[in-house]
Amino acid sequence: MERFKTKRVLIAGLGKSGKSACRWLLNKGASLFCFDDQQMNKEHDPEAKELIGKGLKMVSIKSALEDSFDMMVVSPGFPRTHAVYEKFIRESKPVIGEMELAFCQLDKKAVGVTGTNGKTTVVSKIAHCLKDNGIKGEALGNIGTPLLQAVERQGEIDVFVVEISSYQLETLTTARLSSGCILNITPDHLDRYSSMEEYALTKGLMGRVVVPEGRLYVEEKTLKSWGKWIDHPGTMAFGFSPECDVALVNGTIRRFGVTEIRLPDEFGRAAPHDLENMLASYALLRDLDLSAEDILRSFKAFKKPPHRIEFIREVQGVSFFDDSKGTNVDAVLKAVSSMEGRVLLIAGGVDKGASYTLWIPHFQGKVVKIIAIGEAREKIKNELSTMFPVELCSSLQEAVDTAFRSAKKGDSVLLSPGCSSFDMFRDYKHRGDEFKKIVLTL
């Protein structure tokens, strides 16, 4: 793209997406500058050193504020209140993300998924079904592999299945998806957004990245609650009500008023949120011209990614479950509701701004103890200790030991933090892996 040649581009943050953007822009002849809060660590990162060797210049925040640039590429989650971000907005200079760069040059079929919970499961399920039916589908984006990195080899991919976070939607403007889906909108990231309305508005931006002739599927309760923030001419509802455009009613899937297939009895035992994820996946796969029969056959062989209400083992009659991916209050509600019998909940980490009091009516009669860890533990105790026993622990090891000591035969110990992990762990995967290690030593 000639538009980037000789342009002075500032990269804000040198994580996965920042590095991917750097590689691509260097190949396009841009003059690249980067600042990162962990700059000293990045300069010893082999990938960062390679990029520096190819022309990337690391600069201080002072330089980022004082020097002149043509545009800025931000990493997902870069604070909009940051002085450098505000400078670009003030100067009416473009601020985009790595995913927008990818959308601008993506030539293949693409579908996208956003929502508070379930995104990774749905894009993984769609990619699995495509591959199972001989189509080269790949799950990309927020799930882990930067989209721009995959676009460089798009000749090897038939369908791009893109997981999109609210952070990425903030800087996405190009309509490139043939179909999209909003799974749900529940409290999350309220440490970044000033209100649920602002968060819902950001999720609703999914409408501008689906082509006008495409379809945007929205879960029925989400559409009812937040529909005014969702603007797309092809908006469709999916859910369990007969009037939904794609509906699961009495074990049968109806699409646009036509009965397409009946689910096997084994699907009827799935939790409601799993059925919603299945229905969303089905809707997007049908838009990609897979038959109902082929989709269901592939669904049967699909296994959810780890750390999502994953059974680890039973010890002395106590079952242990890893739901480390449950990083917001609604995800914890879904995890607890899926448990049988009494639950001892391990929760906490970096607080994301929502109130834990939302748990109270759903936990009563089910959760017998909460073991709180991380930075949010005092807040959890303050908000919940009048209704549930809450014990504070300083480490995950201590929390597991405490839960096991307190549990009775038939109980479940559930790690479902309702918080992000960065106070104690690298990410939710690291937190879940550590939990598994501890449980396997009991």
Whether 5 shows a pLDDT value over 90: the answer reads no
- Would you state the pLDDT for residue 333? 97
- Would you state the pLDDT for residue 234? 98
- Would you state the pLDDT for residue 40? 54
Q: For residue range 288-341, what is the model confidence (pLDDT) as tens digits? A: 999 999 999 999 999 999 999 999 999 999 999 999 999 999 999 999 999 999
On whether the CB atoms of residues 391 and 370 are closer than 8 A, the answer is yes
Q: For residue range 180-203, what is the model confidence (pLDDT) as tens digits? A: 999 999 999 999 999 999 999 999
Can you tell me the distance from the alpha carbon of 438 to that of 293, in angstroms, rounded to the nearest whole number? 42
**331: nearest Cα among 154, 184, 167:** 184
Q: What is the mean pLDDT of residues 82-97?
A: 95
- Would you state the pLDDT for residue 3? 77
Q: What is the mean pLDDT of residues 130-141?
A: 98
Alpha-carbon Rg for the chain, nearest whole angstrom, is: 23
Alpha-carbon dihedral angle through residues 286, 290, 296, 301, given to the nearest 10 degrees? -120
The pair of three-digit structure tokens given for residue 237, joined into one six-digit string: 């509802």
Whether 1 shows a pLDDT value over 60: the answer reads no
**22: nearest Cα among 49, 3, 41, 44:** 49
CB atoms within 10 A of CB 308: 24
| Residue stretches of the annotated binding site | 115-121
Can you tell me the distance from the alpha carbon of 192 to that of 433, in angstroms, rounded to the nearest whole number? 27
Q: For residue range 17-48, what is the model confidence (pLDDT) as tens digits? A: 999 999 999 999 999 999 987 665 666 789 98
Whether 426 shows a pLDDT value over 60: the answer reads yes
Where do the structural domains in the chain lie, given as residue ranges? Answer: 8-93, 100-301, 310-441
Q: For residue range 344-356, what is the model confidence (pLDDT) as tens digits? A: 999 999 999 999 9
Q: What is the mean pLDDT of residues 89-106?
A: 96
Domain 8-93, CATH 3.40.50.720 — does that match? yes
More confident residue, 4 or 377: 377
- Would you state the pLDDT for residue 186? 96
Q: What is the mean pLDDT of residues 137-149?
A: 95
CA distances (Å), origin 163, targets 73, 114, 130, 347: 19, 6, 16, 26
- Would you state the pLDDT for residue 41? 60
Confidence band of 6 (pLDDT split at 50, 70, 90): confident
Q: What is the mean pLDDT of residues 403-421?
A: 98
| Residue stretches of the annotated binding site for ATP | 115-121
pTM: predicted TM-score of the whole model, two decimal places: 0.91
- Give the burial string for 191-230 (b: 16+ CB within 10 Å, else e): ebbeebeebbbbbbbbbebbbeebbbbbbbbbbeebeebb
On whether the CB atoms of residues 369 and 349 are closer than 8 A, the answer is no
Please, what is the Cα angle at 185 between 234 and 180, to 5 degrees? 30
Domain 310-441, CATH 1.10.10.10 — does that match? no
Q: For residue range 254-269, what is the model confidence (pLDDT) as tens digits? A: 999 999 999 998 887 8
Mean pLDDT of the chain: 95
Alpha-carbon dihedral angle through residues 269, 275, 281, 282, given to the nearest 10 degrees? 70
* Reduced 3-state DSSP string for the chain: CHHHCCCEEEEECCCHHHHHHHHHHHHCCCEEEEECCCHHHHCCCHHHHHHHHCCCEECCHHHHHHCCCCEEEECCCCCCCCHHHHHHHHCCCCEEEHHHHHHCCCCCEEEEEECCCCHHHHHHHHHHHHHHCCCCEEEEECCCCCHHHHHCCHHHCCEEEEECCHHHHCCCCCCCEEEEEECCCCCCCCCCCCCHHHHHHHHHHHHHHEEEEEEEEEEHHHHHHHHHHCCCCCEEEEECCCCCCEEEECCEEEECCEEEEECCHHHHHCCHHHHHHHHHHHHHHHHCCCCHHHHHHHHHCCCCCCCCCEEEEEECCEEEEECCCCCCHHHHHHHHHHCCCCEEEEEECECCCCCHHHHHHHHCCCEEEEEEECCCHHHHHHHHCCCCCEEECCCHHHHHHHHHHHCCCCCEEEECCCCECCCCCCCHHHHHHHHHHHHHCC
Give the CATH fold of the 100-301 domain.
UDP-N-acetylmuramoyl-L-alanine:D-glutamate ligase (3.40.1190)
